[in-house]
Copies of this chain bind each other. A is one copy, B any other.
């Protein structure tokens, strides 16, 4: 009943996919690529999460593989990157037993220029509202995207995650707006400011943001790359499930 420990045992396919989020035009967007029409790959012409096979020559480890795929599509080299999970089964890929390691990334919209690369027909940002994005995605990517959205929205309730959707320097109003965009509900200004400032996650920059109205204080992250956990969610009476 036991399996042999030989490495020659038949191996599943191994891929890495990345769910890349950004905020564009006051809305959350996710990056999708359109698969080639004429290839004899599965799901031709359909939209999918960016990703592909692990390259055992090029990729030191899974995270490096995810970073490479992100860089190839967006040029971004230092995103917020976190593992979302892995999905493997005999049915999710018509070519056979396949397992994908999924990461999710947050990047600021600013400097991004999309590149479709050789394997894709098109690359595009898709707005995300409520639950659905595109009805049908290749493989089980629609389900994976749902899971990523759930994780994002859930984690935003009690962490500093959304800073990674903004450029290095930002105002507290900017930050609050991103929280509201992701959570799709307004947040109390006073409570928000108290929480963010008392969490010690940001420090003031000497500059102020110019504009048509009163200039706002600019802040930046104290520990770039790290996550701050708030002691509670924004709306205590709301279920966190």
**Which of B9, B41, B85 meets A83, CB within 8 Å?**
B85
- Residue A55 at the chain B interface, CB threshold 8 Å: yes
Instruction: Say how far A117's CB is from chain B's closest CB, in angstroms.
Output: 6
Known A-B contacts A5-B53, A7-B96, A118-B2; A61 and B86 likewise in contact (beta carbons under 8 Å): no
C-alpha gap A88/B119 in the complex (Å): 24
Contact with B along A80-98 (1 / 0, CB 8 A): 0001011111100001110
Q: Count this chain's copies in the assembly.
A: 2
Query: Quick one: closest B residue to A241, CB to CB?
Result: B229
Q: How many angstroms between the C-alpha atoms of A186 and B85 in the bound complex?
A: 33
Residue of B nearest to A96 (CB): B7
Q: Report how far A237 CA is from B158 CA in the complex, Å.
A: 14
Task: Collect the chain B residues with CB atoms within 8 Å of residue A239's CB.
Answer: 229
Chain A contact residues, majority secondary structure: loop
Give the interface segment out of A11-19, A127-135, A210-218. Answer: A11-19
Residues of B within 8 A of A67 (CB): none
Residues of B within 8 A of A9 (CB): 53
Interface residue A62 (Cβ < 8 Å from any Cβ of B)? yes
Complex CA distance for A240 and B228, rounded to whole angstroms: 9
Give me 14 other A-B pairs in contact (C-beta within 8 A), A5-B53, A62-B86 excluded: A3-B119, A5-B52, A7-B13, A7-B95, A12-B56, A54-B88, A60-B90, A62-B87, A62-B88, A88-B101, A229-B239, A229-B240, A231-B233, A231-B240
Chain A interface (Cβ within 8 Å of chain B)?
A: 1-3, 5, 7, 9-14, 39, 41, 52-56, 59-62, 72, 83, 85-90, 95-97, 99, 101, 117-119, 229, 231-233, 236-237, 239-241
- CB-defined A-B contacts under 8 Å, sample of 13: A2-B118, A3-B55, A5-B39, A5-B119, A10-B56, A11-B13, A62-B88, A62-B89, A83-B86, A85-B85, A88-B101, A231-B232, A232-B232
